[in-house]
Structure 1
């Protein structure tokens, strides 16, 4: 199939992009890498009347590290982030995820913020945003606002972005001293969306956070005790059931719950062992 007709705006500046989005309202979509949007256009699952291309806007293609926060602009491609020299030291959880994000070919085109805006519950980068308790920077012609990750994802491929708004950037807190992280996922093939993905963060003082993707309609997170705690397995089991897994072509609900328990424990144990 081919997409329904649309107008195309190649914005040369952020002001031009925001003006085009403001004029078109909910009939507009931002296009950057296009790795998720273009297939949806071709299958006519998305039918915007205007596409606003933001990939010629230089100020959106920056990665900045300021005051303990890594800010990634809407024009940063996934491959650019993967090759960013400080990544392993400042965002080790994200560094461990990047090889699992699609394939090298798609990472060379797809953008980091595009993955958040698409909000697929099985994608790795939205899981990282929730696990790290990051923030989403939204901007329209009239205003800016910042939302925590937990408030941005509303459902499967649904976000809190309003008509006329775009994801200008996302912010992720830099890796703290004494913090351990771990990531693991199970997929049918490497590069496919995860059947279940787990990201764990073990902070100094015993605080442990586990985030799970691929099960519920959005990534979900929980605070857990140390794996040696007698209540750990019960808490993890309750979490696995609370995600309301469903059967589909890729896996049964029971298999997904089993993966949350086994993969969840493994990632938490690895994160705890990496604390220093």
Structure 2
């Protein structure tokens, strides 16, 4: 295959939440690079040429079954992009236990489950790339997003702990932290909220899913083998230093 920015070698890739928004852009990036890609999602259709697997990342049995399907089709998983995520935004005094639990279960516990499952084949193969989709609000904070920002901040600790556990096996673990990206998730925000954030983003615009996908692809590449435990912001400068 032709060498690309994703990798010089075709890899077996799993992307969770890969049928929409940032996840879909990531899937398309790897597919264009000649990789064998499986998208785990709860709805929607993946791009043509991608193995679509229905998977709820909050269910351990579904996660295991999805990985088995990906492995049978594409070989042992070498690259995992843990991207599945949800929001249930409200101020803390209005946030229910269910709002908290739902977001933590998908965004954090779900990431743990897929990382644990993917690590098995990566350790055996002595090569692997794990990339978590975090968020600028994971370290920057955001009113009304205590559950979401907490789940994304915790991914940094997860990536850095995995780096210490798996680094000697040729496995890296990193976090890409998008800012405000034009997706269905940001489309529901009120105009005044969008305007307020645009005023604070040095780039003076929202990001594109493809820009996040490019950062993810680099971290999953051969060239990024000495980068691990890092948080890579893709936020137009919004969270500088946080």
Give the TM-score, by structure 2 length. 0.30
Instruction: Pick 1 or 2: higher relative contact order, CA cutoff 8 A, min separation 6.
Output: 2
Structure 1 or 2: more helix by fraction = 2
Structure 1 or 2: more strand by fraction = 1
Give the TM-score, by structure 1 length. 0.27
